[in-house]
Amino acid sequence: MLANQPLADRLRPKTLDEFCGQEHLVGRGGVLRKAIESGNIPSFILWGPPGVGKTTLAWIVASTLKRPFFHLSAVHSGVKDVRETIDKAKKQQFFNQPNPILFIDEIHRFNKSQQDSLLGSVEQGIITLIGATTENPSFEVISPLLSRCQVYVLNPLGEKELENLLDRALKKDLYLEKFDIEIREYEALLRISGGDARKLFNALELVVSGESDEHASEKIIIDNEKVLKHVQKNLAIYDKNGEQHYDIISAFIKSMRGSDPNATVYWLARMVEGGEDPKFIARRMLILAAEDIGLANPNALLLAQACFESINVVGWPESRIILSETAVYLATSPKSNASYMAIESAQALVREKGDLPVPLHIRNAPTKLMKDLGYHKGYKYAHDFDDNFVRDEFLPEEISGTRFYDPGTNPREEEIRRKLKDMWKGKYDYE
């Protein structure tokens, strides 16, 4: 039998020294540790994947600084809950005492009016806000609130950190220490966790529970085969609370990239039925339209942008129809990642070559001195020539002739290839 309290809760760190991972934030010299040790923390947002310690870190901050702590979940709370909590925080304020901490989990799920309700109390110092989000706060948090908060990025836990957590669980947990447990293979546990400590602990408990039921009083040997056996058998328990989020969005994207509209709609339906944020789905389709379709069908990006804007106007549940139309369109569009590969290639060369000088003739020349130095001299204005084109040099001399954009093998980009070949006549090797 599994213990009533989950292992992740039983082993929740109580101090920064017990906290695992995020050395860049809470290690010796880490920016957040310094702020906590100074006793003067700003409002901030913790951005990172599930199971890396966002909630735990908020608890540790409040405990270390001995601040009153209020916890709201954006999934279950509205403006009324926020205002009631702020009123409670006001009553906890005493002369010269630091302000209480309000922790909001999944803050990205708050709409504009809910986020607006936080602004005044954050600005006036009634509360110190700590938000936790798995989504980019630049997209999900309103600008006035974001400007009043620091953003700290948390990383997925690495293999060594996950192994340390497992070893610590076997030594420190009052429930697990009753058993004679040996982990002989870590690979399956680590792969299943995906860098998520909560998933890791859930999987460990499932394996121990299953093995102890089958082999009472015997030593428990954990290997990859046993992990897969018990976790798959209990997948519903293990993957509760929508933790398949990243796997399903990955399947959705790969189905569109693979031009399979049927699989695309299936994975979309899984997200719709699971209560996924429609803006998250629409934003991922925007990325796919640019990365995987590109100039093979430029209208794809326009439709994806229209989808993103439309779901904010139409609302739920009708938005699912707009999402479906867009997803099917993207899945059935011709594919090209040529533009994506072009910027990847160009960035790689920039990192290799550094800041190469801009050719003099295409530099800006707003002053007489610049003109005397040759800035802009000899520049040929394309519109003064036939077909609005003149063969000129626009790259630094050192990389002249380097081709970054290689058109894809689809009708539209084949046409682009023919045009570029004719215009540049071998300079960029468009054969």
Name the burial class of residue 429, with classes exposed (0-12), middle (13-18) and buried (19+) by CB atoms within 10 angstroms of its CB. Answer: exposed
Percent of the chain whose pLDDT exceeds 90:
20
Q: Is the peptide bond before 317 cis (omega within 30 degrees of 0)?
A: yes
Task: Decide if 336 contacts 410 (C-beta within 8 A).
Answer: yes
Q: What is the pLDDT of residues 3-35, one digit of tens each?
A: 567 788 888 888 888 888 888 888 888 888 888
Please report the pLDDT score of residue 238 as a whole number: 44
Whole-number pLDDT of residue 1: 42
- How is residue 382 annotated by DSSP? G
Task: Judge whether 135 and 162 are in contact, CB under 8 Å.
Answer: no
Please name which of 279, 299, 277 lies closest in space to residue 289, comparing C-alpha atoms: 299
Q: pLDDT: is 371 or 411 the higher one?
A: 411
- Distance of alpha carbon 76 from alpha carbon 46, whole angstroms: 19
Mean pLDDT of the residues in the chain: 84
Q: How far apart are CA 421 and CA 430, in angstroms?
A: 5
Q: Domains, the chain, ranges and CATH?
A: 21-153 (3.40.50.300), 159-238 (1.10.8.60), 245-332 (1.20.272.10), 352-424 (1.10.3710)
Give the containing element (helix H, strand E) for 284: helix 278-288
- Tell me the per-residue pLDDT of 44-86, one tens digit each, with 9 for 90 and over: 999 988 888 888 999 999 888 888 888 888 777 777 888 888 8
Radius of gyration of the CA atoms of the chain, in A: 28
pLDDT tens, 44-55? 999 988 888 888
Please give the Cα distance from 62 to 64 (Å, whole number).
6
Dist CA 298 CA 405 (whole Å): 16
Beta sheet of 44-47, edge-to-edge order: 69-73, 101-105, 128-133, 44-47, 150-153
Task: Tell me how far apart the alpha carbons of residues 277 and 108 are, in angstroms, rounded to a whole number.
Answer: 10
- What are the tens digits of pLDDT across the range 257-275? 999 999 999 999 988 887 7
- What's the pLDDT score for residue 201? 86
